[in-house]
């Protein structure tokens, strides 16, 4: 996975984290896709303090007993202490990935509107084709190359692009012309969640049955978020591994 330094907002900073830690990646490695971590509020300390407020206690530094507490909370499904934090990402992804993504409703989204602006007409072109899984109707497997199919795909995109531009030049409003845009058109949105919701998203979208394109976005977000919640995310991944998830 290619990693690039965030050039627009600068590195997100937390105590003890290298200021040069990357905050942006290109999950699909096509020079267009992007996951950018734009803001983090909270850390492992906030998880501990949310749990210990019941006893009127507070800490300012993670100690071994705090690691143990976080592990206990995760393993016994005490999830509310993981909700007193926030992560925000700027996502650039094909429309079909975004529509899968937004099935996760316990989060906040704001997306670019092609009612307001003309589409940049950037399209996701797969590097490989996959076969349809015959047992799982929503799944795929393997990969293969076929230049003829790639040419058909690209010709269809060119035709859709030309028709979209023709409608706009003829005076058709953007909100109607956008109906011609293929599902592989790139869109952008801000995705904000707490750590509890984040872990749920990552568990589902890195699973073997998830579509490959959203799997690589989910893994990219996990890689970017891990340094900010190292105890919680490391322990959570151990639990998932133990459960075969």
Active site residues: 205
Query: Which helix (H) or strand (E) covers residue 130, if one does?
Result: strand 129-132
Q: Which residue has the tokens 């690589």?
A: 216
Q: Which of 190, 225, 219, 191 is nearest to 204 (CA)?
A: 219
Give the long-range contacts of residues 96-103, CB within 8 A, separation 24 or more.
96/183, 96/184, 96/213, 97/211, 97/213, 97/214, 97/217, 98/187, 98/189, 99/183, 100/205, 100/211, 100/214, 101/191, 101/205, 101/214, 101/217
């Amino acid at each position: 996975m290619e990693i690039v330094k965030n050039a627009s907002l600068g590195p997100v900073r937390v105590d003890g984290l290298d200021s040069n830690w990357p905050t942006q990646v290109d999950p699909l490695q096509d020079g267009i896709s992007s996951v950018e971590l734009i803001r983090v509020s909270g850390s492992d300390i906030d998880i501990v303090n949310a749990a210990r407020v019941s006893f009127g206690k507070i800490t300012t530094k993670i100690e071994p007993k705090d690691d143990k507490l976080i592990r206990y909370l995760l393993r016994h499904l005490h999830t509310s202490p993981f909700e007193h934090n926030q992560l925000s990402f700027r996502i650039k992804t094909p429309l079909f990935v975004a529509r899968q993504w937004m099935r996760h409703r316990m989060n906040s989204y704001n997306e670019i509107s092609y009612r307001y602006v003309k589409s940049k007409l950037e399209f996701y072109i797969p590097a490989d084709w996959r076969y349809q899984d015959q047992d799982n109707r929503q799944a795929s497997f393997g990969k293969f190359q076929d230049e003829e199919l790639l040419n058909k795909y690209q010709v269809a995109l060119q035709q859709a692009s030309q028709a979209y531009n023709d409608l706009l030049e003829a005076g058709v409003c953007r909100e109607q012309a956008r109906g011609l845009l293929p599902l592989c058109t790139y869109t952008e949105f801000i995705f904000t969640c707490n750590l509890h919701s984040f872990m749920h998203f990552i568990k589902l979208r890195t699973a073997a049955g998830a579509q490959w394109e959203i799997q690589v976005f989910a893994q990219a977000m996990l890689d970017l978020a891990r340094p900010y919640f190292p105890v919680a995310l490391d322990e959570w991944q151990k639990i998932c591994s133990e459960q075969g998830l």
